[in-house]
Structure 1
Amino acid sequence: MEAEMHVGEKLVAVTLLWLLVAVPERALAHSGEEDPPRSHADPPGHKAGGHWSYAGKAQWPSTFPSCGGHLQSPIDIDTGATIFSPQLGALLLSGYDLPPGERLCLQNNGHTIVLKLPENMTLTGGGYLQPYRAVQLHLHWGSAHGVPGSEHTVDGHRFAGEIHVVHYNSQFSSFHDAVREPGGLAVLAAFLQVGEEENEAYQHILESLKEVQEEGEKTFIAGFDVAKLLPHDLSRYFHYNGSLTTPPCYQTVNWTIFNQTIQLSQDQISMLEDTLRGDNDEPLEGNFRPQQSLQGRTVLASFLVPHSPEGAHPPGEEDPPRTLVPRGPPEGEDGPVAPTEDVGLYSTPVSGPKGGSGSASEDRPAVGGGSRSVGAGPAETQVGSSVHTGDVLAVLFGVLFAITGLAFLVYVRKHRRQNCRLDASAAKANIIYTPATTTEEQAV
């Protein structure tokens, strides 16, 4: 009997060991992808300031290893595959309304136009545990040949341009300390779209471009309300974890891409495309990186996107408004193909902010069916997990079974010891105890 119990215990122990080791491995294998790497920093001695150009973007990974990583940006946002996350709350922009006495440095760095921002401009809320301090903003645009130049795309559509406002996590002492750390950066991005009227807010920058035509040139502009460069509606946006879109391509960026677009006049877009010079005195144009593979990452949405897998609205609420994404030119192997005369970049006429004032209206341009506040939920700071829900449940049930088995082993051992003690007591109860007699008693 005892031998049989020992054999049973060994079988249970072997089964538990298999469950604890094999089930998680099978779950990971079932997901079909490996966990994407979480790069903390490139190797010591890596020169982040190495020369690079958009013409040689295919060679970036050989000089800047992070550019070949699994969490690269920009990406195409497939609105039908986004996941609605109610945890993506409103962001607060503090200190963005700069006084005219504040002098801001505007520079042509050979790749784009950069406006340096004071660190008292902060981004908070939306699940961020620490405030993010502003560093700079810059723009991306296309070419004068009619090729649009936004970095991110939505359902394959590329917009005329894109603005990025860069912030770093305040738990670090500087941008340079934060840029290599996961979650060290937060970038607010918005699409630029051709409209009928001039956007007065962007004139603060565009009217000074002639003073920085050549690479390396700088000028200073008076402070203004930088928030007017962003959409009025900051409550609807997409969020994902990615990288810098230029070398060294560190994979440390929490991206927020607004659903609502910004309109500039055609003349203003042309000023970006025609004014500046870059490397070798060539026109600075087409300064955008092609789309990078999603590599299993999830793109979250702060609003209910039509056709999203989790886009069903709560009971009692109406369906969210649907705004068609304007059609763009077809994508070729080397980027967008310039449209012909009779092919418009935008198939749905929409009105936008006048003078950058940001007044809201129902016909404001939006991507993916939305209309503005910004955020990243704490539970979604890392969204690249490759383990699916079913796999997680399999691991969970395996662990629970293992715990139950261990409890059963403890019970069996305890029960066996109790039986041994009871058997001994019963044996003693069946013995007739006769005390030994002394010598004197025997004599009697």
Structure 2
Amino acid sequence: MARQRADALLSAFRDRQATVAVIGLGYVGLPLVKAVVEAGFTGIGIDIDPDKIRMLHEGVAYLRHFDPAYFAGRIAEGRLACTTDFSAVAGADAIVICVPTPLTKHREPDLSYVANTARSIVPHLRKDQLVVLESTTYPGTTQDLLVPALEQSGLKSGTDFFVAFSPEREDPGNPDYGTQSIPKVVGGADPVALELAVALYDQIVVKTVPVSSTAAAEAVKITENIFRAVNIALVNELKLIYGAMGIDVWEVIDAAKTKPFGFMPFYPGPGLGGHCIPIDPFYLTWKAREFDMSTRLVELAGEINTAMPGHVVTVCMEALNARFAKGLKGGRVLLVGLAYKKNVGDIRESPGLTLIRLLEERGAKVDYLDPHVPQITMTREHPEYAGRGSVAADASFAGYDLTLIATDHDAVDYARLVSESRLVVDTRNVCERKGVSSANVVKA
């Protein structure tokens, strides 16, 4: 009987006759629910933030790289429903969880969003539903936390409902890879759950990659982000070493990447940002302690990357002293690019926020310019900056002692920036890449 019900759900997925609910409508969930609807499914979007739901209904953007009219249009057509009411999951054949997994102030995993979401689903969970967790986490979370939480409903995983893990692979602002064009790794809590999850994602993305378990799928995502964190730490350390030798690390990397095998270019910067790379490796660090294992390379990479904003501020102080025989105290600094990466408005864990703090602690007056971040929203680490606004895009650079480029947005006029600024500290090598480097530009 259970197999017959699973076969019916398989058919609904393969025929795109199912309803899919996505919980958490942020940088992961919003593009996913869009892909779900574009694949022909009926979509349900759920978020605890009523402002997000209101803006989706009204066609107002809260993620700048999405057309807000798209979601309002699908809602009007009846192909998408957006709500704060978790009872809506009762009408879904698949429930996909895309909620944050941050670190606590002690740098331990904070799975409260996952746990709270599971508790909100439980009263409305019914037989013959697939529940998929996409939030990045340590191996074992799905089996040890999510499954027992959902079984508080009185239903049994693998018999009454099915559970899988499929790590998100979003790259906000990347014009070449969207949700549908990125292969999806899938692990099931049991063989039927895996079969169901593959059938669902087969209709949404270009390719599914099944693995043997939810733990293996969780490990895939952690591995991807550790790979980036460690390699970024490597080039950040090389930047310091080569800089002391008078060698330009960007020149070295650009020459090294001409080798057609055995080298992959990573680039230094002012520190790590975003919700993944600065956080996810420490999920494995925490979990490894359960097995009396240490993650020495991961932790060392974290130390190197975390130290980068301090290095940038040191370069700023040295450059000001060398050019104008003055320090940061009482100086005016314009930080260009507050988002953690180019061409998006995401400031989660952004090193730009840390740079503002470090500069202001040394007595500087800091403004910021970011065409994608008109106003700083509330953040966990820097709530004191909430409400601070960007200077106008056409504002003059001439009134600042130092212009500090933290993020290389394409929308910035770097030729004007260099010509008007008294001194530029460039952490992204963007001035040289744009062909506007000059004697007043210092690389950091």
Q: Provide the TM-score with structure 1 as the length reference.
A: 0.22
Structure that is richer in helix per residue: 2
Larger relative contact order, structure 1 or 2 (CA cutoff 8 Å, min sep 6)? 1
TM-score, scaled relative to structure 2: 0.22
Q: Which protein shows a greater Rg?
A: 1
